[in-house]
Amino acid sequence: MSTIQTQREAFYGRADTQSLAPLWTRLKSLVPEAPAPACVAHQWRYEDVRPYVLESAEHISAKEAERRVLILENPGLQGSSQITNSLYAGLQLIMPGEVAPAHRHTQSALRFIIEGSGAYTAVDGEKTLMEPGDFVITPSWTFHHHGNETNAPMVWLDGLDIPLVALFNSTFREDYPSDEAPVSRPAGDALARYGSGLLPVGYQSGSLNSPVFNYPYARTREALHTLTRGSEPDAHAGYLMRYVNPVDGGWAMPTMATTIRLLPKGFATRGYRSSDSAVFVVVEGRGRLQIGDERFDLSPHDVVVVPGWMSYTLHANDDLVLFSYSDRVAQEKLGFFREQRF
Ligand code: 1HN
């Protein structure tokens, strides 16, 4: 080693004793020219993971587990419980007769229903029955529990902002004193009151979240198919819609941006990239997702993570419906969000 380098190394060693470190050896990796996410593109084929999700019921009850979930951990972020740098994902199973006990936490959660019919989640005093394709939100610090009074297992994808909350060290949690928190309003109340193109006169929301907490797929699907008759799909996205807070027109949740899109059979998108890493769930249909040089063949209920700032294209073999969530809403508020169309 040259004298200069030897002297520098010695200096760094002495500086380290004072908890000091040189920026100049790290600057380019601390501040790269463009995002270099540690998260990698990855697919969980539902056909492959479903047996594991169902087997988890042989090993633990929902009550003992509190939440019986297999985490979808990004292979580039092993040991982190993260699917992207800022988000968590898992597949949760609730068997007939089970209750997942009530608790609350500062993390916001979303559910995207994969399989089963009619199990419920209770959020902040209202139950909703869940059907495949429904998008359900659990706002930060609201008590919630889940139950399955049907005779079939129910599986959904959980998306939470755990890494974001951890970054700010603002995690709090509290268990409800009994398994079930009280339910004070009839099922469907929030959807009728806030999600029917109506709002109570004088309504003032004190929340950062949409007051609609279940966006039923029956309505979403009808909307997607109806709008295909009135316009051409966007070249980079297909018929892409976002879940909206009807009170202010913003995203449904403050940290996680959620969308649903339809690509008509035979349609292919042009390349697109954005600074938010996104988690996609195949709702209906088959197709292809090309991320960089990797190609993923999509089937219903598959989950795929697309790292931020990697260009991707989609191709629909059938009418293809995709749900997605990302931290776009947080990036927009902080002024970080960027996108590029090819
Ligand atoms: C949670 O509360 C749920 O309520 C799911 O279903 C997954 C992962 C970590 C922390 C809390 C749920 C969770 C979670």
- Structural domain includes residue 62: yes
Ligand 1 binding pocket includes 160 (Cβ within 6 Å): yes
Count how many Cα atoms sit within 13 Å of the Cα of residue 84 in the half-sphere of its side chain: 28
- Residue 78 belongs to domain with CATH number: 2.60.120.10
Residue 150 in tokens? 């049907």
* pLDDT band at residue 318 under the 50/70/90 scheme: very high
What mean pLDDT do residues 89-95 have? Answer: 98
Question: What pLDDT sits at residue 206?
Answer: 87
Three-state SS at 110: strand
The domain total for the chain is 1
Cα–Cα distance, 51 to 114 (Å, whole number): 14
* pLDDT band at residue 307 under the 50/70/90 scheme: very high
pLDDT in tens, 50-59: 999 999 999 9
* pLDDT band at residue 305 under the 50/70/90 scheme: very high
What mean pLDDT do residues 290-315 have? Answer: 98
* pLDDT band at residue 113 under the 50/70/90 scheme: very high
Ligand 1 binding pocket includes 165 (Cβ within 6 Å): no
Three-state SS at 313: strand
Look up residue 302 and give its amino acid: D
Dihedral sign for Cα atoms in the order 101, 68, 91, 77: positive
Ligand 1 binding pocket includes 139 (Cβ within 6 Å): no
Look up residue 81 and give its amino acid: S
Q: Residue 91 CB: number of other CB atoms within 10 A?
A: 24
- Structural domain includes residue 13: no
Average pLDDT, the chain: 97
Residue 113 in tokens? 């229903």
Share of the chain above pLDDT 90, in %: 98
Question: What pLDDT sits at residue 2?
Answer: 86
Residue 223 in tokens? 């909307």
pLDDT in tens, 252-262: 999 999 999 99
What mean pLDDT do residues 294-323 have? Answer: 98
Dihedral sign for Cα atoms in the order 202, 252, 318, 153: negative
Tell whether the model's pLDDT for residue 265 goes beyond 90. Answer: yes
Tell whether the model's pLDDT for residue 174 goes beyond 80. Answer: yes
Strand partners, 244: 251
Question: What pLDDT sits at residue 131?
Answer: 98
Contacts for 34-38: CB closer than 8 Å, 24+ residues apart = 34/309, 35/275, 35/308, 35/309, 37/76, 37/84, 37/85, 37/277, 37/307, 37/308, 37/309, 38/76, 38/77, 38/85
Distance from the alpha carbon of residue 52 to the mean position of ligand 1, in angstroms: 19
Q: Give the residue from 335, 330, 294 showing the smallest Cα distance to 311.
A: 294
- Structural domain includes residue 315: yes
Cα–Cα distance, 241 to 233 (Å, whole number): 11
Residue 56 in tokens? 């988890």
pLDDT in tens, 60-71: 999 999 999 999
Cα–Cα distance, 78 to 121 (Å, whole number): 30
Question: Closest residue (by CA) to atom 13 of ligand 1?
Answer: 67
Question: What pLDDT sits at residue 87?
Answer: 98
The residue with tokens 């989609």 is 314
What mean pLDDT do residues 78-98 have? Answer: 98
Evaluate whether 281 touches 112 at the Cβ level (below 8 Å).
yes
Question: Closest residue (by CA) to atom 14 of ligand 1?
Answer: 67
Question: What pLDDT sits at residue 36?
Answer: 87
What mean pLDDT do residues 124-138 have? Answer: 98
What mean pLDDT do residues 105-121 have? Answer: 98
Q: Give the residue from 310, 319, 321, 242 showing the smallest Cα distance to 280.
A: 321
Question: What pLDDT sits at residue 37?
Answer: 85
Question: Closest residue (by CA) to atom 12 of ligand 1?
Answer: 67
pLDDT in tens, 40-50: 999 999 999 99
Range of the domain at 218: 33-341
Question: What pLDDT sits at residue 168?
Answer: 97
Question: What pLDDT sits at residue 169?
Answer: 97
pLDDT in tens, 230-252: 999 999 999 999 999 999 999 99
- Structural domain includes residue 292: yes
125 to each of 85, 141, 189, how far by Cα in Å? 32, 13, 11
What mean pLDDT do residues 159-177 have? Answer: 98
Distance from the alpha carbon of residue 325 to the mean position of ligand 1, in angstroms: 16
- Structural domain includes residue 3: no
What mean pLDDT do residues 280-304 have? Answer: 98
pTM of the model: 0.97
What mean pLDDT do residues 15-32 have? Answer: 97
- Structural domain includes residue 20: no
Q: Residue 289 CB: number of other CB atoms within 10 A?
A: 23
Look up residue 122 and give its amino acid: A
Ligand 1 binding pocket includes 255 (Cβ within 6 Å): no
Polymer length in residues for the chain: 342
- Structural domain includes residue 5: no
